[in-house]
């Protein structure tokens, strides 16, 4: 396995806020593509170690940052969960992307988001500034927050209260309890989730409503991703936090059969595909690698039509997927 260089740092935003950053790069410096990582709610970029390392061993550099209010970007307890408005979140991402583009205008960039980060990535796909959009070669989403699973969704009247509170008391702290067993099927991951000192679990009225509102706007078509945009969506059918059925419906309605989207369903897998047990997490990472290489072979038109693919639930096919990834990696000219 190729060696990987991991770098930690900070990124200063224009308003003076500093974000923690973490980068995974192939040690030989031969970078075929770049991925910008957007983590989920009650999450941080260091939770993606295996995923990012796997990508880096295949020549794909991953650039992550802890968003405002999360992980190591929290400077004081008062900042917990204060991610800002959708406009602020998207502007932070724009600033981060501008730096990457300025450093290297040739190597393609892919935007990858999980859960809350998936909703942010799709919103950005629809609303990205014209000086940024041409540099994004594809969007990778795992368990995107389009619609919450019925077992996790608050009642409609509470959502109305939350919408009101987001306007009058945006920084109102609202602790959220996420059962560890819905995160992953791996007991060790569940234990780590409970013990993670960076996972404070505190949302704000503005942040929580913002997540729901972004998903709602995407599902209802008020914010629409162009069908010409390349999108890969992975979702576990055992996910009880975000709805895999909503992901499938959204892909079908937005892209139909002529778009450039691929939906991959993982039978029985739970919310965090990147930390599922055994070889499953490796299978997921290599599925992403394969799509990046496939898309890169022919530029933005490499993936010619939308498709739905069912994946095995216990790592079946991982070995076959490895062959596909390795072959694609050799052919890719990104």
Instruction: Give residue-wise pLDDT tens across range 216-241.
Output: 999 999 999 999 999 999 999 999 99
Least confident of 114-118, 199-203, 317-321: 317-321
Mean pLDDT of 249-268: 92
Give the Cα separation of 219 and 209 in Å (integer).
15
C-alpha dist (Å) from residue 323 to 4, 55, 269, 320:
21, 15, 23, 5
What pLDDT does residue 150 have? 97
Burial grade of 4 (CB within 10 A; 0-12, 13-18, 19 or more)? middle
288 to 24, 211, 226, 231, 281: CA distances (angstroms): 16, 24, 21, 11, 11
pLDDT at position 37 over 90: yes
**Contact assessment for residue 208 and residue 215, using Cβ atoms and an 8 Å cutoff:** no
- Would the pLDDT of 325 be above 60? no
CA distances (Å), origin 96, targets 14, 79, 159, 260, 264: 11, 20, 32, 26, 28
Length of the chain: 334
Domain positions in the chain are 4-331
Strands 231-236, 173-175: pairing is unpaired
pLDDT of residue 296: 74
Alpha-carbon distance of 287 to 292, in angstroms, equals 9
Contacts of residue 155, defined as CB under 8 A and 6 or more positions apart, other chains included, come to none
Indicate whether 139 pLDDT > 90: yes
- CATH node for 4-331: 3.40.50.1820
**Distance (Å, rounded) from C-alpha 105 to C-alpha 103?**
7
> Which span out of 261-275, 294-308, 317-331 was modeled with the highest average pLDDT?
261-275
pLDDT at 79 over 80: yes
Cα distance between residue 111 and residue 13, in whole Å: 19
Cross-strand bridge partners of residue 22: 8, 64
Residues 6+ apart with CB under 8 A from 184: 190, 193, 270, 271, 272, 275, 276, 277
Whole-number pLDDT of residue 320: 35
- Helix 280-297 crosses helix 318-331 at what angle (to 10 degrees)? 30
Q: Give the pLDDT of residue 297.
A: 60
Lowest average pLDDT, out of 99-108, 120-129, 172-181, 291-300, goes to 291-300
Is residue 213 pLDDT above 70, yes or no? yes
Model confidence pLDDT, tens digit, residues 261-290: 999 999 999 999 999 999 999 999 999 999
pTM of the predicted model, to two decimals? Answer: 0.91
Q: Where are the beta strands (DSSP E) in 180-274?
A: 202-204, 231-236, 261-266
Q: Strand, helix or coil at 218?
A: helix
- Whether residue 121 contacts residue 111, with contact meaning beta carbons closer than 8 Å, is answered with yes
The reported pLDDT for the residue numbered 257 is 75
Phi, psi (degrees; rounded to nearest 5) at 106: -95, -40
Q: Mean pLDDT lowest for which of 121-125, 207-211, 214-218, 256-260?
A: 256-260
The answer to whether 149 and 238 have CB atoms below 8 angstroms apart is no
């Amino acid at each position: 396995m190729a060696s990987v260089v991991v770098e930690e740092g900070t990124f200063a935003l224009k308003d003076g806020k500093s974000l923690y950053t973490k980068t995974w790069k192939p040690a030989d410096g031969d970078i075929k593509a770049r991925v910008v990582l957007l983590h989920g709610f009650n999450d941080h970029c260091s939770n993606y170690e295996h995923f990012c390392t796997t990508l880096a061993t295949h020549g794909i550099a991953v650039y992550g940052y802890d968003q405002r209010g999360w992980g190591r970007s929290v400077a004081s307890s008062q900042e917990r969960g204060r991610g800002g408005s959708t406009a602020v979140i998207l502007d932070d991402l724009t600033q981060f992307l501008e730096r990457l583009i300025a450093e290297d205008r040739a190597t393609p960039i892919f935007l990858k988001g999980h859960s809350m980060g998936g909703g942010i990535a799709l919103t950005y796909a629809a609303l990205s500034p014209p000086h940024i959009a041409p540099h994004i070669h594809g969007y990778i989403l795992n368990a995107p927050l389009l619609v919450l699973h019925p077992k996790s969704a608050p009642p409609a009247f509470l959502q109305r209260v939350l919408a009101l509170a987001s306007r009058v008391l945006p920084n109102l702290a609202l602790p959220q309890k996420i059962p560890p067993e819905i995160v992953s099927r791996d007991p060790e991951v569940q234990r780590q989730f409970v013990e993670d000192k960076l996972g404070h679990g505190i949302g704000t009225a503005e942040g929580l409503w913002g997540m729901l509102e972004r998903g709602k706007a995407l599902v209802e078509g008020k914010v629409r991703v162009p069908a010409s945009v390349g999108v890969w969506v992975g979702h576990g059918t055992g996910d009880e936090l975000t709805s895999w059925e909503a992901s499938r419906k959204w892909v079908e309605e937005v892209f139909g059969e002529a778009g450039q989207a691929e939906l991959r369903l993982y039978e029985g897998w739970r919310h965090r595909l990147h930390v599922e047990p055994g070889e499953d997490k490796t299978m997921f990472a290599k599925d992403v690698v394969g799509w990046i290489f496939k898309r890169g072979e022919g530029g933005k038109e490499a993936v010619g039509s939308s498709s739905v693919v069912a994946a095995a639930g216990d790592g079946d096919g991982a070995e076959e997927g490895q062959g596909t990834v390795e072959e694609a990696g050799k052919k890719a000219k990104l």
